[in-house]
Structure 1
Amino acid sequence: MEAALPQLLRFSTEMLPERDRMAAFREEFARQVLKMDFHPIGGRTRVDIAYLELDLVVVGRCSGFGGEFIRNAHHVRDGRGEFMLGLAHGPLRSRQAGHDHAYSGGSAVLFDYGQPFASRSMISAEARNIVVPAAMLKALVPHPEDQAGHLIRPGPALQLLDGYLASLLALDEPPAPELAHSIGLHLLDLLAAAIGPTAEAAEIIAGRGLKAGQLRAVLAEIARRFAEPGFDVDDIAGRLCLSRRSVQRFLEETGKSFTEHVTEHRLERAHAMLSDPRFSHLRIVDIAFAAGFGDVSNFNHLFRRRFGETPSSARATGRAV
């Protein structure tokens, strides 16, 4: 059976009619998609969601204020065998299995979908989440259900996982289907490394390539931010909690430097814009700047070397098609 195509959904309660906003969000998204309930707290509740389904896992981001997500005994009867890790950015409170935690600042809590739990925010906060099949996590982590509701402190694996999730959830489109499976495996490995794998699982993770996961995170960050003025290696290192030299070593394995990767993305973006009639009103210099180039003469030189024609010629060819 073929795997389902990756899907990316962005949703906000602000998109719903004000009168029925919270009731509609609870029924159409919380209950139908997340398989849990939602209760607003106070009079100014707002929720913004990014939801990405991959081959093996689901990742998401939930930001807003004044609400509580609850998976109660009724929901647990659905037999959904999954675990969810919630990484906090801003003050959150969680309850599961007798554990009650207030957490923020990059800490996380592991939730077991087989037991009731709740997570709430009173003021502005954001959580990045990853949901994985219970059987796959249990193959790497001994008795993860015993850690349900427990706080997980920041560490290298958790920080890298957080950065990877941020990069994936900032994409404009879901990853290509052929990448979804390997991305899911790398996310699962990072989750297991953050929680604490068995000795045997640690060897599996190492053999499967934790470094490959780190490289994919670096490449995803480049693909997300290449058009930003002044974007450099330090930006990636800071986001993914890696050293500058580590980022450079990962990229060396691809046969291209950071500058070469960024330049290729920028040239492809500029070529696509020049060939698209929707951007025909923009000057070539504006397109160069939009793609991330800061010097027009350098852009013209690199464009001609890459595509064998000038930007003006590429635009003329696009108009003739």
Structure 2
Amino acid sequence: MQKPDADYRPARFSSNAFPERERVSAWRDFFGPTMFGADVEPVGEQPYRQDIVVRPLPGVCLLSATNTPVRFTRSRAMLADGRGDYGLHINSGRSMVRQRGRDVLCGPGEPILVTSAEAASMTSPEASHFLCLHIDRSLLLMNVADPDGCVLQRVPGDSVTLRYLLGYIRFLESTDLTAVDTQIAASVGRHLADLLSLLFGATGDTATLAQRGGLRAARMLAIKRTINESLSEQALGVEHVAVRHGISVRSVQRMFEREGVTFTEYVLNRRLDRAFRMLRDPAHAGMYVIDIALACGFGDLSYFNGCFRRKFGEPPGCFRR
């Protein structure tokens, strides 16, 4: 696994940076061995293309790629590079994974765990978006009794832990980690390691710690996403969110209390922030203040005006452009 940069900035690479006639050789000579620890071989006749984003974090590394049909092969000779990490592979299209003499056909979005300590290959016969979450071998060994026994194991598509893991990954893909300090980066890395550990059988105290760490953080992100997507709904309440995520009302309330805010306060602040942005956005210049209030989930204009003034110091009309 690549060591993370000090500032954890995503590294971006594109095959389009090379002339088409040099593209495949450049990828096979450098990017394949460096990024994947594997040979890269185009499949089919169409011009090869691949765009890669690498997001390094302490103990884990998230790699996402968009590519034309391709085959990755990690030969026995390549094992000399000493890589021994595990990788959770998720392909938006079909893929065939071969390791330990077994062929496993993965459907679109179906995750599978492989190990870079052994020879393997993965073939994607169609253009697809590919995710790989690498985790240091030592981290998984600390949390899962037999990680080698999980290699090539299928993960049920309805797994709650998988849903939260994918949500956490989507958050990372949309977040600029340039200014993240070492402590926060380490926390994010632990959260991802926790979720992978739960996905592959962490039990006892290890599972409890992982649930309090990575699973709790991922669930909170998912709950906040639900809130942000539902701000325009006046009926949005803690009961709605609890049912949506399959947990109790009190559990949702406690999650926000740990952050020093109530559920109601969080929703109110998000609605006011959205209203502020809309008032300042020329694209909404034709909307009346009452229309913006309604669009942000407020059913009472006087209540909206009072809350807005308390938060921003002036009535909404003062912020129109």
Q: Distance in 1 between matches of 2:179 and 2:251?
A: 24
Distance 2:253 2:85 in 1: 34
CA contact (8 A) 1:284 1:312 kept: no
Gap change, CA 1:20 and 1:312, over 3 Å in 2: farther
Q: What is aligned with 2:35? A: 33
Instruction: Select which of 202, 207, 221 maps to 1:202.
Output: 207
Which structure would you say has the larger Rg? 2
Q: Percent identity?
A: 26
Find the partner of 1:193 among 198, 217, 222: 198
Match of 1:141 in 2: 144
CA RMSD of aligned residues (A): 4.3
Equivalence for 1:319? none
2:161 is matched with: 157
Deviation (angstroms), 1:138: 0.7
C-alpha contact 2:53 2:64 (8 A) present in aligned 1? yes
Output the amino acid matched with 1:75: M
Report the counterpart of residue 127 of structure 1 in structure 2.
130
What is the aligned partner in structure 2 of residue 94 from structure 1?
97
1:85 matches 2:88: yes
* Correspondence for 1:53 among 48, 56, 59: 56
Q: How many residues align?
A: 303
| Native 8 Å contact 1:56 1:132 kept in 2 | yes
Q: Is the 8 A contact 2:167 2:218 kept in 1?
A: no
Aligned partners of 1:220, 1:3: CA distance in 2, in Å? 29
Structure 1: which 5+ runs fail to align? 317-321
Residue from 53, 68, 74 that aligns with 1:65: 68
* Cα deviation, residue 120, structure 1: 1.9
| TM-aligned CA distance change 1:47 to 1:265, over 3 Å | farther
Q: Secondary structure at the match of 1:152?
A: coil
- 2:11 maps to a residue whose letter is L
Structure 2 residue matching 1:21: 3-state secondary structure = helix
* Residue 138 to residue 244, structure 1, CA distance change in 2 (3 Å): closer
How far apart in 2 are the matches of 1:233 and 1:187?
29
CA separation of 1:285/1:57 partners in 2, compared to 1, >3 Å: closer, same or farther? farther
**Corresponding residue of 1:9:** 11
Instruction: After TM superposition, give the deviation of residue 273 of structure 1 in Å.
Output: 10
Q: Is the 8 A contact 1:11 1:50 kept in 2?
A: yes
Unaligned runs of 5+ in 2: none
The more displaced of 55-64 and 147-156 is: 147-156
For residues 259 and 24 of structure 1, the distance between their equivalents in structure 2, rounded to whole angstroms, comes to 54
The CA deviation at 1:83 is 0.8
Q: How big is each residue's C-alpha offset from its partner over 1:193-251, in whole Å with a ceiling of 9 and x where there is no partner?
A: 11112445334434x4355233443267479x669988x899x98xxx96265699436
Q: 1:110 aligns with which of 103, 113, 133?
A: 113
User: How far is the alpha carbon of 1:132 from its aligned partner?
Assistant: 0.8
The alignment partner of 1:142 has SS state of coil
2:195–2:215 Cα contact (<8 Å) kept: no
Q: 2:184 aligns with which of 172, 179, 182?
A: 179
Change (3 A) 1:39 1:253: same
1:282/1:220 Cα in 2 relative to 1: closer, same or farther (>3 Å)?
same
Displacement, 1:262? Answer: 5.9
Corresponding residue number in structure 2 for 1:307: 312
| Cα separation, 2, equivalents of 1:68 and 1:271 | 49
How far apart in 2 are the matches of 1:263 and 1:285? 24
Which AA in structure 1 matches 2:8? Answer: P
Mapped contact 2:220–2:255 kept (Cα < 8 A): no
Residue 221 (structure 2) aligned to one of 199, 206, 217: 217
* Counterpart Cα distance in 2 of 1:261 and 1:73: 53
